[in-house]
């Protein structure tokens, strides 16, 4: 299973990279707005740091504009993957980009049918938003299961990025289903290694270690 970090915060990326667990980065306009810097500056810096796919989202809404914007973003670095929103225009733009061999991550996926048509046009990634479905009393992880079944049925190569992850249980469930990738906010990423029994165990070892006679 691959882990992407879902952030436009370069300090969070530097810190997480030290674990050796980060396979790529996803950003979106909300995350870049939070970082308070220009999209291009942030992307340049991330591309210098990370050796893996880096998703950059188009801000245009019209298909032709999306394609032009995507071509510019793709020129920043070979690792850039273009994030396209799952709209009618987005579908047309994604199809054009796939034909140009520009990697595409289709975002804002909320239904199996949306994922099916993305697989059919051959995008590299789809991003189902699990947490946002849970928020409206749907079971987000059911969508991931449906997409994986559909892609298996038709032998699609599109990889599933479990997105809008809110807590570590989402990561466990995604792994159980065999999702290719989970993209994690730093708050979730930082909790992957934690367990209260590990902390208690360490406390006991350290207090006992203090009793061992020094040579
Ligand atoms: C990732 O590609 C998405 O942009 C992100 O996971 C959305 O998460 P949110 O629902 O917490 O904003």
Whether 214 is covered by a domain: the verdict is no
Q: Give the ligand 1 atom nearest the CA of 165.
A: 6
- What whole-number percentage of the chain has pLDDT above 70? 100
Whether 136 is covered by a domain: the verdict is yes
| 129 CA → ligand 1 middle, Å | 7
CATH of the domain at 163: 3.20.20.70
What pTM, to 2 d.p., does this model score? 0.96
At 190, give phi and psi (nearest 5°). -65, -15
Ligand 1 proximal residues by C-beta, below 6 Å: 6, 26, 28, 107, 127, 129, 131-132, 163-164, 183
| 29 CA → ligand 1 middle, Å | 10
**H-only helix segments in 18-167:** 29-35, 39-49, 63-74, 88-99, 112-121, 130-135, 140-154
Q: What is the Cβ-side half-sphere exposure of residue 134, based on CA atoms within 13 angstroms?
A: 15
203: its two tokens: 């406390």
pLDDT digits (tens, 9 = 90+) for 154-174: 999 999 999 999 999 999 999
Whether 215 is covered by a domain: the verdict is no
Q: Is the pLDDT of residue 200 over 90?
A: yes
Q: In terms of residue numbers, what domain contains 50?
A: 2-209
Q: Which of 33, 129, 135, 179 most suits a substitution to test ligand 1, by most atoms within 8 Å of the C-beta? A: 129
How many domains, the chain?
1
**Of 117, 181, 118, nearest in space to 144 by CA:** 181
């Amino acid at each position: 299973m691959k882990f992407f970090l879902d952030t436009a915060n370069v300090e969070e990326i530097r810190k997480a990279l030290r674990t050796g667990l980060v396979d790529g980065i996803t950003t979106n306009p909300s995350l870049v707005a939070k970082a308070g810097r220009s999209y291009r500056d942030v992307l340049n810096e991330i591309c210098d740091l990370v050796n893996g796919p880096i998703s950059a989202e188009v801000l245009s809404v019209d298909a032709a504009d999306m394609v032009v914007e995507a071509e510019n973003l793709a020129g920043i670095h070979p690792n850039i993957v273009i994030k396209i929103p799952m709209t009618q225009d987005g579908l047309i733009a994604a199809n054009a980009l796939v034909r140009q061999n520009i990697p595409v991550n289709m975002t804002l996926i909320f239904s199996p049918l949306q994922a099916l048509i993305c697989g059919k046009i051959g995008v590299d990634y789809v991003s189902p938003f699990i947490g946002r479905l849970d928020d409206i009393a749907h079971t987000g992880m059911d969508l991931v299961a449906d997409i994986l079944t559909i892609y298996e049925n038709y032998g699609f190569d599109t990889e599933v990025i479990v997105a809008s992850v809110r807590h570590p249980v989402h990561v466990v469930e995604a792994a159980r289903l065999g999702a290719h990738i989970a993209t994690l906010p730093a708050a979730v990423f930082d909790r992957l290694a934690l367990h209260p029994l590990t902390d208690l165990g360490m406390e006991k070892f350290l207090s006992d270690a203090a009793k061992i006679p020094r040579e």
